[in-house]
Structure 1
Amino acid sequence: MNTHISSANDNWKERAGRVGHVAKGVVYGVAGVLTLLAAFNMGGQKAGKVQVIEFLQKQPFGNVLLILMAIGLACYAFWRFVQSVQDPQDEGTDTKGKVKRTGYFISGLLYLALGIYAVMQISGGGGSSGQSQQGIIASLLQSKFGVLVVIFIAVGLFAKAAYQFYRVYKGDFTQNLRPVEIPYSKAESIIKNAGYAGFIARGVLVGIVGYFFLQAALQSNPGTIQGSSGAFSFIQQSTSGPWLMALIAAGLVCYGVFMFVVARYKRFYAR
């Protein structure tokens, strides 16, 4: 009987995880499409997660879209907390496992904050997230300990960027996916290529954001702090800026597609 209850609990948690991955896929897909359009001056905008929330609100039935997105992001955050606490995929309690589970918890907090931001936008209390972030960093930079905290954040972002490239190197991000209804070798090739492009794009953007945080700490200038949209602006300044920005944006679209595949076919529990 206890086994049945545990299985039932696992099922609803798994469903929440699948809904959460769909929401994450939408965020990255929309960010990629908007930035891709901006790269070729076809409308759109250089977009990160926050800009996606603001874009959705401007659409017909925008508040409804934001409510759905907030629910989806809360589901994703919830699943990350489950991964951190219950370890459904047997990451383990060794150093590597603890680091991954800590990362899941931090990821959960970030996506929960994004969901809360979506709700605040509905109520008109969202304000400018960029200014709020810079205000927090400005407060931290007023003390030596705060500067160390900002440097620590930068190092964490660099580590996260490196982990994205490590996943590309390992190429094992499809190992927890169930076989799909088309020939698996073909499906795996399509899914892996989307994953490769997505993880590379994320690695580049996270690395640039980490650079922004490091510059803020070294220069005591919170104004250098920017998110993904700022990272795209940074990329655009290079000689091949528009094309490079388009490639990274396309990578985000691929990552969004990869998240949809994960939502449908991932084994959420190691059984």
Structure 2
Amino acid sequence: MNQNIKTVAYIGYTAKGVVYALTGILALMTAFDLGGQKAGKLQIIEFLENQAFGKIILALLGVGLACYAFWRFMQSLNDPEGIGNDAKGIVKRISFFISGAVYLALGMYAIIEIFQEQGRSGSKMPIEEQSGKYLLIAIGIGLAIKSVYQFIKAIKGDFLNKFNFGTISSSKKKSIIKNLGYLGLIARGIVVGIISYFLIRAGMDLSSSNTIKGTKEAFSFLEQSTSGPWLFALVSIGLLSYGIYMFAMAKYRSFDD
């Protein structure tokens, strides 16, 4: 595989890691009353925009997320690692394309924010048309499948096959990467599962006007559960772990040329 494509993928994994790590950190701070906020991907961009050198940070993040999107599109359309055209391979390649589209939109949002006034927030979108609500059900079902897939990946542990552990001499470092992956995938599965529930419920409630709910609302849902802030804190730690796991991917990920 071309080294330039690998470099683009590494940059993309780093940018994705930044988004998830910040999501976990801010949520964890909220869980223990240390400030912070319940934030989804859009809120993370708005948070970064309000920091020192926010515009520069957003530009770098936007480019990084675009790189990740490009890598996902490459996996989907060019299949550089030979995933294949059987049923399983096609499903994976379609999911890569969808992932690429999502992160390309997020990267574009980060770039657009550079030229917009600060203080705007657009985490919720009203859904009024019945056709739109049927679409929500379809997306919700897709996310439910993705949620289950995250748990399956964690149970099977095959996500570890993407690492070149031969280049890591420390057994402790290997163990840390494995545990970060397990925690991250489980936490991601929980959050995606809750979001899918929100979308399906919004789509089925055709008589009312609903809003699209994302990670921020999923955190609130967890916080209000019977386990309260502890489950919220555990999932926050899990998302932080997933972010660090993405950083490990950026450094140690191997490619099937």
TM-score by length of 1: 0.90
Matching residue within 234, 249, 256 for 1:262: 249
Q: Are residues 1:63 and 2:55 paired?
A: yes
Question: Post-superposition shift, 1:194?
Answer: 0.4
**RMSD of Structure 2 on Structure 1 (CA):** 1.5
Q: Secondary structure at 1:173's aligned position in 2?
A: helix
Q: For the residues of structure 2 that align with 1:123 and 1:222, how far apart are their CA atoms?
A: 31
Question: Post-superposition shift, 1:86?
Answer: 1.1
Code of the aligned partner of 2:136 = V
- Give runs of aligned pairs for residues 17-166 of structure 1, distance below 5 A: 17-124=9-116, 127-131=120-124, 134-135=125-126, 137-139=127-129, 141=130, 143=131, 146-166=132-152
Q: Are residues 1:172 and 2:158 paired?
A: yes
Sequence identity (%): 49
Unaligned runs of 5+ in 1: 1-6
Code of the aligned partner of 1:11 = Q
Q: For the residues of structure 1 that align with 2:136 and 2:48, how far apart are their CA atoms?
A: 31
Q: For the residues of structure 2 that align with 1:109 and 1:223, how far apart are their CA atoms?
A: 24
Q: For the residues of structure 2 that align with 1:169 and 1:181, how far apart are their CA atoms?
A: 23
TM-score by length of 2: 0.94
Check whether the contact 1:174–1:188 (CA below 8 A) recurs between aligned residues. no
Q: For the residues of structure 1 that align with 2:228 and 2:108, how far apart are their CA atoms?
A: 33
Check whether the contact 1:154–1:214 (CA below 8 A) recurs between aligned residues. yes
1:193 maps to which residue?
Answer: 179
Unaligned runs of 5+ in 2: none
2:222 maps to which residue?
Answer: 235
Q: Can you list the C-alpha shifts for 1:12-54, whole angstroms capped at 9, x where unaligned?
A: 1110000000000010000100000001111000111111111
Q: For the residues of structure 2 that align with 1:222 and 1:123, how far apart are their CA atoms?
A: 31
Q: For the residues of structure 1 that align with 2:162 and 2:225, how far apart are their CA atoms?
A: 38
Q: Are residues 1:216 and 2:202 paired?
A: yes
Question: Post-superposition shift, 1:223?
Answer: 2.6
Check whether the contact 2:43–2:121 (CA below 8 A) recurs between aligned residues. no
Code of the aligned partner of 1:128 = S
Check whether the contact 1:25–1:260 (CA below 8 A) recurs between aligned residues. yes
Do the aligned partners of residues 206 and 194 (structure 1) sit closer, same or farther apart at CA in structure 2, a change above 3 Å counting? same
Question: 57-66 or 223-232, which moves further after superposition?
Answer: 223-232
Do the aligned partners of residues 222 and 256 (structure 1) sit closer, same or farther apart at CA in structure 2, a change above 3 Å counting? farther
Q: For the residues of structure 1 that align with 2:116 and 2:144, how far apart are their CA atoms?
A: 34
Code of the aligned partner of 2:128 = A
